[in-house]
Amino acid sequence: MIDSRDIVLAILIDIENNNTFSNIAITKALRQNQFENKQDRAFITRLAEGVTESQIKLDYIINGFSKTPVKKCKPLIRSLLRMGTYQILYMDSVPDSAVCNESVKLAKKHNFAGLSGFVNGVLRTIARNKDSIKMPDEADTVNYLSVNYSMPVWLCEKVLQDYPNEGKKIIEASFQERKTSIRVNELKIKKDDLKAYIYDNTGDAASEKLSVCDGYYDDKALLISGYDFIRKTPGYREGYFTVQDESSMCSVRAAGIRPGDIVVDVCAAPGGKSTCAAEFLMGKGTVYARDISDEKIELIDENVRRLGIGNVIISKWDACVTDETLINKADVVIADLPCSGLGIMGRKNDIKYRINAGQIEELIKLQRTMLDTVCRYVRAGGVLLYSTCTINPKENSDNVKWFLKSHKEFHLAEERQFLQGIDKCDGFYYAKLVSGVCEKNDKQCQIV
C-alpha cells in the first residue's frame, strides 16, 4: 500500500540533497505512482508543493517552538518538521494527532527513533498553539513579506525597489493559484473543438472540477484547471495542445512570423516557442530548434513529435558559439535566454531560494554574450526576438538598451513587460528588435 507521506519525504530529500528542482522531483514521483489512487497523488502534490513554497514561513514557525534551530536539524528531521507543520496549519482534513503519529512513524522507519520524541514534541506544541502564532508586524514591510510569502529578504527588497507601486502584489502573486495556460495546436484542431473534446473525454466525476476557458491575451490560448494530471488530460497525447504561458505566446506572435520564413530558436527547450513558430509557418518554411544538451534536445523532440509538426530541425548547439552557416539567413531569431526566472516564482516555487544577486550578474553577462552571437543570424529587415521569464529590469530593458548601443544596425520595434499579480499571466519580458533602418511604412517597425 502506498505511503503518501513517505513519498513526499523522499521528494523533499531529493530536492535538498540533490538540488533537484521541485517540479522535476514531484513529476518524477507522480510518474512512478500515476496508477495509484487519485487522492494519493493530489495529497502528494499539495504537500510537496506546499512545503517547498512555504519553507521560510514554516522554518520561522518551527524555530518559535523548537530549541534546535531548523538549520541545525538533520535533513530528514528538518523535512519531517516542515511536512508536519504544513499539515497542521494548512490541511484541515488531516487530524493533528494523525500528523504527529505519522511523523513519528516515519522518523522511526528511517532509523531516527532517537529523534522521534523531538519530532513529536515540536509538532504537538505547534498544534496546541497554532491559533496564537505571532508573525512579523505588517509595519515591518520586508520581514512581513519575507516570512508570510516565504521569499528571501534580499529578493523582497529587490522587487520592492524595482517596482515600488506593484512590488507587494508581485510578491503576493507567488502564492496565488492560477489556471494552467495551454496553446491549442491549430494544425490539428480548432480551439472550440478542443474544449469540447476535453470535456467529452473526461470522466463524469472528474469533469465536475474541470474548467476550460479562453485565455486573456492570445487567440490560441486556453486556461485549464481542475485536471488530474496534465499528461493524462484528453488531447495531450493526441498532440492537440501543449503547455505554454500566454505571455510566451504573445512574444512569438509579436515576431511577425509568416509562411516561408526561416526561424532560428537558439535556446528552444522544451519547444514551446519553436512549435508555436512552426504553426505560424503553416507548413512553409523552417524552424531550427537548438539547445545545449542531449536532455533538452530530447524534450524538444518529444513535443515536436507529439504535436505532429514536420518542419522543425532539431540540433544540439551552444548559443554562445557562432554557426557560420546561419549568418544573415534568418527572418526571425528567437532568443529566449537563460535568466533568473523571477517571473515564474509562483510556478517553480524553489527558484526564489536558489537564485542570488551574484548569479544574476553572471546571467546578464551570459545573455549579452548570446545576444552578441545570435544577432548575426538575422538578415536585413529580419527580427531578433529577445525574451526572458524574469521581471528583473537589468536582464530585460537594461539589456536591450545595452544591445542597441552596441548594435546600431538594430532598432526597437516593440517591447512588453508582463508582471505576475498585475497581469493575468506569468511575469515575462520580450523585445522585438528589427535589423535595418526604421521606416514608417515598414510593417516590422512599430516604434513604441
Q: How confident is the model at residue 27 (pLDDT cuts 50, 70, 90)?
A: confident
Sequence-distant (6+) residues with CB within 8 A of 227 are 180, 202, 206, 210, 233
pLDDT tens-digit map of 234-281: 999 999 999 999 999 999 999 999 999 999 999 999 999 999 999 999
Average pLDDT over residues 175-201: 94
The shares of helix, strand and coil residues in the chain, as percent rounded to the nearest 5, are 50, 15, 35
Residue 440: predicted pLDDT: 43
pLDDT tens-digit map of 286-298: 999 999 999 999 9
> Residue with C-alpha cell 508555436?
276
Amino acid at 348: K
- The H-or-E segment that residue 200 falls in is helix 191-200
CB atoms within 10 A of CB 341: 22
pLDDT tens-digit map of 69-111: 999 999 999 999 999 999 999 998 889 999 999 999 999 999 9
The residue among 319, 221, 224, 199 whose CA lies nearest residue 264 is 319
Give yes or no for residue 441 having a pLDDT over 50.
Answer: no
Per CATH, the number for 180-243 is: 3.30.70.1170
Exposure pattern of 135-174 as b/e (b: 16+ CB <10 Å)? eeeeeeeebbbbbbbbbeeebbbbbbeebeebbbebbbbb
Per CATH, the number for 248-435 is: 3.40.50.150
Sequence-distant (6+) residues with CB within 8 A of 324 are none
Q: How confident is the model at residue 416 (pLDDT cuts 50, 70, 90)?
A: very high
The three cell numbers of residue 124 are 504537538
Sign of the torsion angle spanned by Cα atoms 336, 404, 427, 239: negative
pLDDT tens-digit map of 215-239: 999 999 999 999 888 888 999 999 9
pLDDT tens-digit map of 375-401: 999 999 999 999 999 999 999 999 999
Q: Give the distance, in angstroms, between the CA of residue 363 and the centroid of all CA atoms in the same chain.
A: 17
Q: In what order do the strands lie in the sheet with 241-243?
A: 211-214, 221-225, 180-184, 241-243
Residue 358: predicted pLDDT: 96
Q: 352's torsion region: left (phi>0), alpha (psi -120 to 50) or beta?
A: alpha
> Residue with C-alpha cell 526576438?
385
pLDDT tens-digit map of 109-166: 999 999 999 999 999 999 999 999 999 999 999 999 999 999 999 999 999 999 999 9
The three cell numbers of residue 16 are 535538498
Residue 34: predicted pLDDT: 63
**Greatest C-alpha distance within the chain:** 77
Residue 2: predicted pLDDT: 66
* Domain-wise residue ranges, the chain: 4-132, 141-175, 180-243, 248-435
Average pLDDT over residues 164-182: 94
User: Above pLDDT 70, what percent of the chain?
Assistant: 96
Residue 203: predicted pLDDT: 78
Residue 145: predicted pLDDT: 97
Per CATH, the number for 4-132 is: 1.10.940.10
Residue 361: predicted pLDDT: 97
Average pLDDT over residues 58-67: 97
The residue among 134, 143, 150 whose CA lies nearest residue 59 is 150
> How far is it, in rounded angstroms, from Cα 245 to Cα 255?
16
pTM here is 0.91
pLDDT tens-digit map of 327-355: 999 999 999 999 999 999 988 888 999 99
What's the start-to-end Cα distance of the chain, in Å?
60
